[in-house]
Structure 1
Amino acid sequence: MRFTAATLATLAVVASALPTDVHYEAPKGGWESVDYPEGTGANLHEYPPPPGGWASVDYSKTGAGAAPAKCPEAPKMAGSPFTFTSYYEVKAVPGEVVNGTTPTGGLAGASGLFKIGLNSELNLICYNIEIYGFRGEYSSPAATATHIHEAAKGASGPPRIAFPNPVDVGNDVRRSVGCQQGPFKTGLMANGQDTATGFHVSQIEKNPAGFFADTHSSLAVPGAVRGQLA
């Protein structure tokens, strides 16, 4: 609908004539004579005290005003992946790398830190791996080039765990963080089966000195850095 100028002027005059101060007349007997329904709180300047006075109220038995009960402690999650049955910090260096039993020298200038938590009840391994000064490309016949192998110090052995290769996070640091739960797979076959077949992390806990962590480079295929778990 379109309004003409004349129509708008007429509406303005009508609006100006409307009362702006509406005054309601009091009922017979005055406002005090009104019988308000119970519970409205009409004309109450304060709540009347209960029988026995306010001091007689036992607030501990009331709802909103009651003293809060002590909150129960949150139950610990059974089998939480962040509950470890063992933990290892492994410093990996080039000087520990061998090919068979022959030292190779690894990748000069590189180093690594493997932080490993195990939960043998869940057959779970969590890891925070940092590799420093890595050069070349990752190289391994397994699915990845970063592992836990089974072998004593100074000897070579098959990989039992294959970690995702650490990625460049800047400042010459490569990092890989995560968790894996068995059954495990390395992608490397030996005697017709994967080298992780049947492996359980409890085997590490029983003999940590019989396992080592490493990563492999195209410039140091037998291993860039290596460190025994114990």
Structure 2
Amino acid sequence: MTRRTGACLRTKARYRSTFFSEANYPKRLKNCFDAPILLYFKGNANLNQQRIISIVGTRNATDYGRNLCRQLCEVLAPYNVLVVSGLAYGIDVAVHKECIANQTTTVGVLGHGLDRLYPQVHKAVSQKMVLNGGLLSEFPILTNPDRQNFPQRNRIIAGIADVTVVIEASIKGGALITAEIANSYNKDVYAFPGRTNDVYSEGCNFLIKTNRAGLINHPKDLMYYLGWDNEVPEKKTHVQATL
């Protein structure tokens, strides 16, 4: 049984909680009909940053998908954007790593309490994220990473952002769930296509074919869709981070 002990988090400097009615609650998420009443956060990101993009994908990322993560995060880096994903295996953690490498603020939405981490092998990544971004959950401390929590947390990934981008996804799985939820919120979804016989691009191809997602052939296409292509991006001194 999940123990609800959220009130005690306000006494712990490591975490902070925010209620739906408070000013620092994510305003984009507040507009979603099934938004959580209470959120728990660890880190320093502004969850109401001017530009927020969610990026999701398969847990079985290929070299093609990881390369797209690298290219997209490099293009996004100068635009002062907050990148959200789920800190899962595959595309999610690849996105977080690329954001760290490009000094881009990144937040992971978790399917458990902030006092634990799943998968544990991503601990080093999560520690770097807290320094420039953070970890977010609707689940109080002592909540285990139970299977049913992860589809539930996907609505936060979809709702907190302006748009959702899908990089590699099978026809079933969390990435497609997130895309469908984003559609239900009337938010834009974009996807990179893949080969017709590639199981890990089948979901992306399906989203594009059924007009559930816009087609991205190159990361700069996203800048065009968002109307950022005519802007002069901020110049940033790039320091490669190690993981």
Tell me if TM exceeds 0.5: no
For the aligned pair, the TM-score class normalised by the smaller chain equals under 0.3
**TM-score after normalising by structure 2:** 0.24
Q: Give 1 or 2: higher helix fraction.
A: 2
Q: Give 1 or 2: higher strand fraction.
A: 1
**TM-score after normalising by structure 1:** 0.25
